Structures are given as C-alpha cells and as structure tokens.
Amino acid sequence: MKFKLKPSRRAFLLGIITIFLFFAASNVQGGWLYIIDSLLISLLFFSAIIPITQIKRLKITRNFNNSIYEGENLKVNIEIENITKKTISFIEILDHPVKRIVGKSLFLKDKNKENSQFFVEIQPKEKISFTYTLIPKIRGVYIFEKFYINSYGPFGLFQYSKELKIKDELIVLPNIPIINNIPLENLKGSGIKYSNKTIRSTEATLPYNVRDYKSGDNRKLIHWRTTARANKLMVKELESEQFLNVKILLDTQKGHNIGEEEESTLEYMIKISAGMFRMCISKGCKVELLYFDNNKLNRLTEVIQLKQILESFARIDTNTNIKLSELLIDEEVTSSNNILIPFFLNPEKNDIASLFQLYEKNFSVIPIFMDVNTFDKNYIPSKNIMDEWSGTYFTVNKGEYSILGKKS
C-alpha cells in the first residue's frame, strides 16, 4: 500500500519558528522559551500522527450490481464505517477510475466528476454511505482497484495520503441483436441436408440403432419391421449426428481487431455471433460456439445457461496466436453434417484457401467477414480478398448489427 506524508506551508513555517525558538532559548537561557518550543514540537508531532491513525479507523466497502448490460446506469454505493470509539474528521475519499481488462484498456469515470470524491466526518461506530453513477458503454470485465484516501491533521499542518487496495469485479454483458434467420437455400455441401432437422425431431434420416421400447418413448419411433421380427416393441435409437449441427467459429487472433472500443470489428463480431447463437438455440438446433482464449479452445453449447453464455461473451478478447484456419481443419469440428459459420475479423488470402479446401470436400460453410474497409478506410485489400470466395458469404459493416451482402 503506497502512502505519503506531506507537510503544508504552515507546517514548514511552524518548524522554522520552532528551530528559531530553540536557538533563542539556548542563547538567553529562557526557560519559558523552552516550554513554548516543546509545545510547538508536540503540536507538529501530533499533527503528523493523527491523520495516519485516522485512516486505520476506517472500513470501506463497495456495493453494486456486479453484472449489468451495456449502456445501463450502474449505481455504486460506498459504505464508510468508523470501527473505533473516536471521531474521524478531515477525511477525503476518492474511488479510483474503473479499469477495463478485456480488449484495449480504458477507464470508466463517474457521470458527474465530483460524485466519486467524498469528504467525511464520522462519529464513533457510525456508518455513512455515498452513491455515484457509472455508464459502461462497452461489454467486458472491469476492475475496481483501490481508493485514494487523504487525511488532514489539526490546522491542516499535514496531509497523509494512502492507496487502499480494495478490488471488485464488474461484468458488463453485451446487448445481443435479434437475428431472425440465415438464408440457407443456396448453401451447398453435406450439412445442408440436415438443415430442417432439430434436436426436437422424431424422424431418423441416418443409419440408426434399435432398442427395446421404454415407457414414455414416442410411438412414432417404433421400428415395425424389427418389432415383427423380435415379437416385441422396438424403437429407433436416434443418433445426435442426424440433427443439424451448427458450429460458430470466432477469430480471436492477436492483431486482427480493427476499430476503436465499441466501434471495432471484435465488438460487432461478438454481438452478431451471440445473436446467431441464440437464434440457433430458439430453432432447436445443436449449436456450438468455439474460440481460442489464450491459446486454449473454449466451447459454448446450447445446454449452458444464458447468463453463463453472456458472461463468456463479455470476456472474449483477441489474445491468441492461433489462427481461425486451424479450427477449420480440425476433424472434430468439420464433421460431414456440420454447418460451419466462421467469423473472420481481418480476412486474409490463407483464410480463403482454407474455405476452398472445405468446399472441395463438400462441407457446408458460410463465412462471415468483418468488412474492415468500413472500420478502417485506409485498409484496401479486404474487399478484394472477400471477392475471391465463390460461395455464399455475409459481411458485417460498421453501424450495422446484422449480416449483409449475401453472395451466391
């Protein structure tokens, strides 16, 4: 904990007077001068000690809703308690600006600059509280790090300053746009065969196993030929592979994010991919969202609770050295009945080459490109690279929280 004891000009002046009186008393042998000098030294000493001891009597806590959505008002309540039997006075408390630790660092400041700075005087065992407002405009994880405390001694002779580290975490959830559908009518590849099958389907379209009928099984699943042969009810055992599996793949490679803060390719990618993820869940698809976090593969599926999904989206950052194209060649990801939806933050020629390899193997792929030309007017190659892909694709432009520019 950093601290600093700073004397005021009055303290310096009083110190000079004390030294002058000491030498004067020595020369004239005046006892009363020694008494005055001792009193002044005592005053300086206690003026330096009191602000230090006052801070030790304080207990400070923050109370706030630690999970909110972008653009919402966050009320931060500061509780300050005097835990001793002595009065605390001449105390100034300032809450440190809140730091975002996802993406580019930025600080949240209170709506009215003075509101996070409090001057207090607290009676013994008393507790007081103050409230100020923050408005986080961009999703992510934010950290309240510390308080700055200034304590003043009698007559303002000394100022004792200290950083009190009290950490709290705030998660700002992304606002998810509504995405109604992704047109699949012109999509090629094996995965499209299952585009009308969901996890609520009852008809098997792939080779299946049969098993004994159990109470509660859907009668539409009875396999009559096997039932007649076995002389007992047998039902189709549906395989998960018969359903449409949507794999949403995110580009989180370092250096690929373009744009500033909420108007960046990363923020648009996260919101639209989250909306697509929610749409797939609502349509009864098996859906999985994959991305690298510090070179470790993360997976979100339809069985995870929505709050946990949103918190995961809040924490996504471009912090990996692994290219998105490595996911596109992963055998587990590129199963024949998957529809792959890769999001490219900054498309490159190698990415198009990876897409062509999948296309030649009859996989269903719908790439979504962040059209970086709309985020950075100086970046020219993006459009040319996207035009090299001959299949269906979509683009995302700055200011448009939707998928655009379909090409067949």
- 298-307: list long-range contacts, CB under 8 Å, 24+ apart: 302/199, 306/278, 307/67
pLDDT at 67: 93
Please say whether the beta carbons of 131 and 78 come within 8 A. yes
CA atoms of 48 and 61, how far apart (whole Å) = 26
**For helices 306-315 and 265-282, what crossing angle results, to 10°?**
160
CA 265, 271, 276, 280 torsion-angle sign = positive
Predicted local confidence at residue 55, as pLDDT: 82
Domains and CATH numbers, the chain: 1-173 (2.60.40.10), 190-196+243-407 (3.40.50.410), 209-239 (no CATH)
pLDDT at 197 (0 to 100): 52
Q: What is the pLDDT of residues 369-387, one digit of tens each?
A: 988 888 887 776 667 788 7
Note the pTM of the prediction, 2 decimals: 0.77
The predicted pLDDT at position 117 comes to: 67
| pLDDT of the residue at 206 | 45
What is the spatial distance between Cα 89 and Cα 72, in angstroms, rounded to a whole number?
35
Q: Give bridge partners of residue 117 from the DSSP assignment.
A: 94
Handedness of CA 294, 299, 300, 304 (dihedral sign): negative
Buried b (16+ CB within 10 A) or exposed e, 93-104: bebbebebebbe
* Chain Cα centroid distance, residue 13: 52
The continuous run of DSSP H or E covering 56 comes out as none
DSSP 310-363: HHHHHH--S-B---HHHHTT-TTTS-TTEEEEEEESS--HHHHHHHHHHHHTT-
**Positions of the chain with pLDDT under 50:** 194, 198-199, 202-207, 240-242
Q: What is the pLDDT of residue 208?
A: 53
Provide the pLDDT for residue 349. Answer: 83
The span from the CA of 316 to the CA of 311, in Å, is 9
Beta pairing class for 338-344 and 245-250:
parallel
Classified as helix, coil or strand, 25 is helix
Looking at residue 29, its pLDDT comes to 62
pLDDT of amino acid 175:
92
Q: What angle is formed at CA 347 by the lines to CA 342 and CA 349, rounded to 5 degrees?
A: 110
Terminal-to-terminal C-alpha distance of the chain: 62
Residue type for position 152: Y
